Amino acid sequence: MAILITGGAGYIGSHTCVELLNAGYEIVVLDNLSNSKNNSLDRIREITAKDLKFYQSDLLNKEELRTIFTKNNIEAVIHFAGLKAVGESVSIPLHYYHNNITGSLILCEVMEEFGVYNMVFSSSATVYGIQDQVPLSEKLPLQATNPYGRTKLMIEEILRDIYISNNNWSIALLRYFNPVGAHPSGLIGEDPNGIPNNLIPYINQVAVGKLTDLKVFGDDYATHDGTGVRDYIHVVDLAAGHLKALEKVMKVKGVDAYNLGTGNGYSVLEMIKAFEDVSGRDIHYKIVERRPGDIAISYADVTKAEKELQWKAERGLKEMCEDSWRWQVNNPNGFNSDINDKKKLISL
So what's the pLDDT on residue 212?
Answer: 93
Nearest Cα to Cα of residue 334 among 186, 178, 181, 179: 186
DSSP states of 190-224: ---SSS-SSHHHHHHHHHTTSSS-EEEE-S-SSSS
The answer to whether 191 touches 334, Cβ cutoff 8 Å, is yes
Give the side-chain half-sphere CA count within 13 A for 205: 20
So what's the pLDDT on residue 340?
Answer: 53
Residue 17 burial (C-beta neighbours within 10 Å; 0-12, 13-18, 19+): buried
Left (φ > 0), alpha (ψ -120 to 50) or beta: where does 209 sit? left
So what's the pLDDT on residue 339?
Answer: 56
| Number of Cβ within a 10 Å radius of residue 210 | 14
User: Could you give the C-alpha distances from 209 to 41, 269, 277, 313, in angstroms and in order?
Assistant: 28, 19, 17, 31
Active site residue 148: yes
Q: Please identify which of the residues 11, 25, 148, 266 carries the catalytic annotation.
A: 148
Q: Specify the length of the chain in residues.
A: 348
Largest CA distance in the chain: 56
User: Could you give the C-alpha distances from 47 to 158, 179, 185, 190, 250, in angstroms and in order?
Assistant: 36, 20, 8, 16, 26
Contacts for 70-74 with beta carbons within 8 Å, 24 or more apart?
70/114, 72/2, 72/4, 72/28, 73/1, 73/2, 74/1, 74/2, 74/3, 74/4, 74/28, 74/114, 74/116
Q: Which helix (H) or strand (E) holds 317?
A: helix 317-330
Question: Low-confidence residues of the chain, pLDDT below 70?
Answer: 338-348
So what's the pLDDT on residue 342?
Answer: 45
So what's the pLDDT on residue 292?
Answer: 77
So what's the pLDDT on residue 341?
Answer: 47
Q: What is the pLDDT of residues 329-346, one digit of tens each?
A: 999 888 987 655 444 555
So what's the pLDDT on residue 141?
Answer: 96
The answer to whether 189 touches 183, Cβ cutoff 8 Å, is yes
Residue 91 burial (C-beta neighbours within 10 Å; 0-12, 13-18, 19+): exposed
Mark out the alpha helices in 140-263 (DSSP H runs).
147-165, 199-207, 235-249
The DSSP bridge partners found for residue 119 are: 77, 171
Q: What is the pLDDT of residues 184-197, one digit of tens each?
A: 999 999 998 888 88
